[in-house]
Structure 1
Amino acid sequence: MSIVSGILENVTEVARRAGASRLCQVNLRIGVMREVVPEAMDLAWEVLCEEDPLTDGCKLTVEDVYPESVCNACGERFTHDRFHLRCPVCGSADTRLIHGRELDIISIEVEHPDEPSQP
């Protein structure tokens, strides 16, 4: 709930400053290492969007970012799941996560008062 609340706070502020009459869609990029539960996020989004006429009916799209690390021992860049962080080339556990913990607002789509509503 707090993640969604923070996102909505940021995007509604931007939309209002831009003179938007309605926030139509928010596009996020979230790393799977962030361990956000999609169902909980969807429910929180639905509930919190209903509280403000600017966000009521706003759609949420999420792009998953899968883990990628670099080995500090040999320099190998590799993808992996949440649990296997060892370098597949040299076996070192001295690795650094470079992707997979993102929580980024990529874009928002708004409607302005002078634009017709989308069906």
Structure 2
Amino acid sequence: MHEMALCEGIMEIVEEEARRRSFSKVRTVCVEIGALSHVDAEAMKFCFPVVAVRTIADGAVLEIVELPGVAWCMACSRSVEIAQRYAPCPCCGSYKLQVTAGEKMRLKELEID
């Protein structure tokens, strides 16, 4: 389950920001997860409280914003939403798609004390 490692990485970023900006408590961690990122949002919700125990984020809420996958169809020259890689264009059925969004996961914001 790589989501545990992702949550550990998030905590490293949170703790580094706490040192830089001198805050002592995190109430909410907001993360954006793209539909094509291969990250399971439910697994993240399960892992986050485990990783946050005895840290400045202990008890914090993990908010997840799920972003759609987006691709450019080279056949019909449209930007289209796709649910998974190698899916056909929902407009014309072509498989000539270039993914343009939805591949990443990023820490969007922190609510702190």
TM over 0.5: yes
Kindly name which structure, 1 or 2, has the bigger radius of gyration based on alpha carbons. Answer: 1
- Sequence identity (%): 28
1:21 aligns with 2:38: no
Match of 2:51 in 1: 48
Match of 2:88 in 1: 86
Report the alpha carbon displacement of residue 84 of structure 1 after superposing the two structures with TM.
6.1
Relative to structure 2, which stretch is displaced further, 61-70 or 78-87?
78-87
Structure 2 alignment gaps of length 5 or more: none
Looking at structure 1, the residues matched to 38 and 107 of structure 2 have their Cα atoms a distance apart, in angstroms, of: 17
Looking at structure 2, the residues matched to 105 and 16 of structure 1 have their Cα atoms a distance apart, in angstroms, of: 17
What count of residue pairs does the alignment treat as equivalent? Answer: 110
Looking at structure 1, the residues matched to 49 and 90 of structure 2 have their Cα atoms a distance apart, in angstroms, of: 41
Whether the aligned pair in 2 keeps the contact of 1:28 and 1:106 (CA below 8 Å) is yes
Q: Secondary structure at the residue paired with 2:36?
A: helix
Match of 1:34 in 2: 37
Structure 1 alignment gaps of length 5 or more: 112-119
- TM-score, with normalisation over the residues of structure 1? 0.81
- TM-score, with normalisation over the residues of structure 2? 0.85
Letter paired with 2:74: N
Match of 1:117 in 2: none
Relative to structure 2, which stretch is displaced further, 84-93 or 16-25?
84-93
Relative to structure 2, which stretch is displaced further, 28-37 or 84-93?
84-93
